[in-house]
Structure 1
Amino acid sequence: MTTDLTEITVVGGDKTGLIARVTSLLFERGINIEDLDQAVRDDIFRMTLHADTSEMVCKPETLRENLHDLGDELGVDVQVRFPSDRETQQIAVLVTKESHCLERLFQAWASGDLGADISVVIGNHDDLEPLANKYEVPFHDVGDEKGVPDEAELLDLLEQYDADLIVLARYMRILSPDVVFRYEDRIINVHPSLLPAFPGASAYRQAVEEGVRIAGVTAHYVTTDLDQGPIITQRAFDVADDATAEDVKESGQPLEAEALLEAVRLHLNGDVSVHRGRTRLREAREDNYQLGLSPEARKANPDRPVDGLGEIVAGDGGESESQRDD
């Protein structure tokens, strides 16, 4: 979706007539719906709608109030994000105990190289509170003694800090549909494997046990399917013959931080879009950037032979060039 469209998200218990009530309200106010997507998971209904509000016959504040009132009537949560709401983007970072990804995000933010503000760090443990304090960013621990998060408190904090993007910087908990649906295509996670290989826990150990020679990391949008969201960026590295899971982890962590940071920048700049479960660049960039390998890595790959391109036939019954060289 282009950034000049208003985004409306509806999340709550599934019931008949939700879509009709919302779309009718928009129609009555002269709003043109450009795209609508809806899903139900674990009895939680989610609708994400993008609309052109440039010619609506009411003020933005009135539309927001009308939609919130409708949500209260229907027992669902309705969020409205106008294009102007996204001018200064706010990031909420979710963490557990590993610091490397959060540290890299903070470094980019402190140098003015992030393109948004890190407004809050939310953990399910308090281990990284000192790091947040170092950068004078509010820290909230929403986990119990076992690290189980209070998602109601989490949602309240995300709303309080007006999060435009949620970054999971090695947040070792699965988010429920109630959270994911509210922030569809606005939650980015980094996973320590080249997805779709080795999803779930202990990905580095899985890679070692399977004897891979090349391992990697993946930054992706979060969906309700574990580690199956649209892939944004990936990084790869060699695995030595005698490497342990700890060796692989040590090689992968710096790449986790870089892949995550790159994915965050692409999202904040509006460079990537999601269509049918895949990401793509919205348009060609002046630096010839493309998702995938760096230009240097692509140059290192051979480009021949390719079926049908290396064979030369010299007339009827003639020998190919490769045969004449024998």
Structure 2
Amino acid sequence: MVVVTREFTEITVVGEDDTGLIAEVTSLLFERSINIEDLDQAVREGVFRMTMHVDTSDMVCTEGKLREDLNDLGEDLGVDVKVRFPADRETQQIAVLVTKESHCLEAIFEAWASGDLDADVNVVIGNHPDLEPLAEKYDVPFHNIGDENGNPDEEQLLELLAEYDADLIVLARYMRILSPSVVFRYESQIINVHPSLLPAFPGAEAYLQALEEGVRIAGVTAHYVTTDLDQGPIITQRAFNVPQDSDTEPEDLRKIGQPLEAEALLEAIDLHLRDEVAVHRGRTKLRNPEESSAQLGAPKELNDLVPDRPIDGLGEFVAEHEETEADD
């Protein structure tokens, strides 16, 4: 596995699957003395996606010329090509997708306004108009891409994400499933928050599912988005005790969980922006755990509450019995 750093240029190619796409792009890079450090490609539902991290330090053309050549090649091949050089990421841009629930968007705005968010929130995109006043309060453009039933226009969504040059897309309780065309374009750049301890209770009505299954501990999860619903690499989680009252309703869990949803989402955003997490084989891990103060799971204080014995095969009687047999 190549450890991808922000010193590499990122090239993303997305479009209808066809033969020869990889060869065409890699040949262009080879001709310009650009070394490919990492390449990942996949096809889902006829959509081709390739992400490359390349070393452009010795390339024999300017950045502008490389952009132009790749754009021309993309037009010839019928694919979209996006190039992002290291300097392009000095100030990262966040696009937030919302529906009607305000708590996560409000937490993001508060963190941004206080300087705790190392990026700019430069657009809010909704499939309903309900949260436009909150965006206006923070002087952030709001675009409603939903029809009267909330069905989003994904072509418009892609146009807006490109227009605002989004580095990170945050689903702040965005209640729609993104198509592979969107997910593939922004691989490992979309973070969602879900109201359960995934992989338990994916999909809709997670709090209701938790109550129906009688769990004693519920929670929330922030994760990277993949084309598999609520199955992307987990970044952060928070847990809470389910009230034991017989008349507990999903709304009761929602009131407990929503502040934790915002907290888990903000921590996941922060870890991503500071490049502290990496995805490997479908799981996230800290890039430099020895140097990081981040805690991806429960608070470290929980470790002190976990008993250290008994452990299978290590009980006192078993150990003494094994010593006796060895002496015999």
Give the TM interval when normalised to the shorter protein: over 0.9
Aligned partner (choices 256, 265, 275) of residue 270 of structure 2: 265
Find the aligned partners of 2:115 and 2:243 in 1 and give their Cα distance: 37
Q: Give, in angstroms, the shift of residue 285 of structure 1.
A: 4.9
Report what 2:194 is aligned to.
Answer: 191
Question: What percentage of aligned pairs have identical amino acids?
Answer: 73
Aligned pair 1:137/2:140, yes or no?
A: yes
Aligned pair 1:276/2:281, yes or no?
A: yes
Instruction: Name the SS of the counterpart of 1:122 in structure 2.
Output: strand
Report what 1:17 is aligned to.
Answer: 20
Find the aligned partners of 2:133 and 2:162 in 1 and give their Cα distance: 24
Aligned partner (choices 31, 35, 39) of residue 34 of structure 2: 31
Aligned partner (choices 114, 118, 128) of residue 121 of structure 2: 118
My pick for the range that moved more, 100-109 or 294-303, is 294-303
Find the aligned partners of 2:292 and 2:9 in 1 and give their Cα distance: 29
Q: Give, in angstroms, the shift of residue 305 of structure 1.
A: 2.1
Aligned pair 1:152/2:161, yes or no?
A: no
Structure 2 residue runs of 5 or longer lacking an equivalent are none
Instruction: Name the SS of the counterpart of 1:305 in structure 2.
Output: coil
Supply the AA of the counterpart residue of 1:281: L
Report what 2:300 is aligned to.
Answer: 295
Aligned pair 1:222/2:230, yes or no?
A: no
Instruction: Name the SS of the counterpart of 1:23 in structure 2.
Output: helix
Instruction: Name the SS of the counterpart of 1:173 in structure 2.
Output: coil
Report what 1:246 is aligned to.
Answer: 251
Report what 1:307 is aligned to.
Answer: 312
Find the aligned partners of 1:180 and 1:33 in 2 and give their Cα distance: 23
Aligned pair 1:172/2:172, yes or no?
A: no
Alpha carbons 1:216, 1:236 under 8 Å: kept:
yes
- How many residues were matched structurally? 318
Instruction: Name the SS of the counterpart of 1:313 in structure 2.
Output: helix
Instruction: Name the SS of the counterpart of 2:244 in structure 1.
Output: coil
Find the aligned partners of 2:36 and 2:299 in 1 and give their Cα distance: 38
Q: Give, in angstroms, the shift of residue 266 of structure 1.
A: 0.2
Supply the AA of the counterpart residue of 2:99: T
Find the aligned partners of 1:39 and 1:287 in 2 and give their Cα distance: 32
Alpha carbons 1:281, 1:290 under 8 Å: kept:
no
Supply the AA of the counterpart residue of 2:60: V
Q: What whole-Å deviation, never above 9, does each CA across 1:158-183 have from its counterpart, x for those lacking one?
A: 11111000000000000001111110
Instruction: Name the SS of the counterpart of 1:255 in structure 2.
Output: helix
Report what 1:100 is aligned to.
Answer: 103
Instruction: Name the SS of the counterpart of 1:148 in structure 2.
Output: coil
The CA RMSD over aligned residues, in Å, is 1.3
Find the aligned partners of 1:285 and 1:170 in 2 and give their Cα distance: 33
Aligned pair 1:50/2:58, yes or no?
A: no
Q: What whole-Å deviation, never above 9, does each CA across 1:88-118 have from its counterpart, x for those lacking one?
A: 0000000000000000000000000010000
Report what 2:324 is aligned to.
Answer: 316
Instruction: Name the SS of the counterpart of 2:320 in structure 1.
Output: coil
Aligned pair 1:3/2:11, yes or no?
A: no
Q: What whole-Å deviation, never above 9, does each CA across 1:10-42 have from its counterpart, x for those lacking one?
A: 000010000000000011111111111111111
Find the aligned partners of 1:313 and 1:301 in 2 and give their Cα distance: 25
Instruction: Name the SS of the counterpart of 1:316 in structure 2.
Output: helix
Task: Report the TM-score, using the length of structure 1 for normalisation.
Answer: 0.95
Instruction: Name the SS of the counterpart of 2:30 in structure 1.
Output: helix
Q: Give, in angstroms, the shift of residue 82 of structure 1.
A: 0.8
Report what 1:322 is aligned to.
Answer: none
Aligned partner (choices 200, 204, 209) of residue 203 of structure 2: 200
Find the aligned partners of 2:52 and 2:132 in 1 and give their Cα distance: 36
Alpha carbons 1:32, 1:52 under 8 Å: kept:
yes
Find the aligned partners of 2:55 and 2:309 in 1 and give their Cα distance: 49
Instruction: Name the SS of the counterpart of 1:199 in structure 2.
Output: coil
Instruction: Name the SS of the counterpart of 1:200 in structure 2.
Output: coil
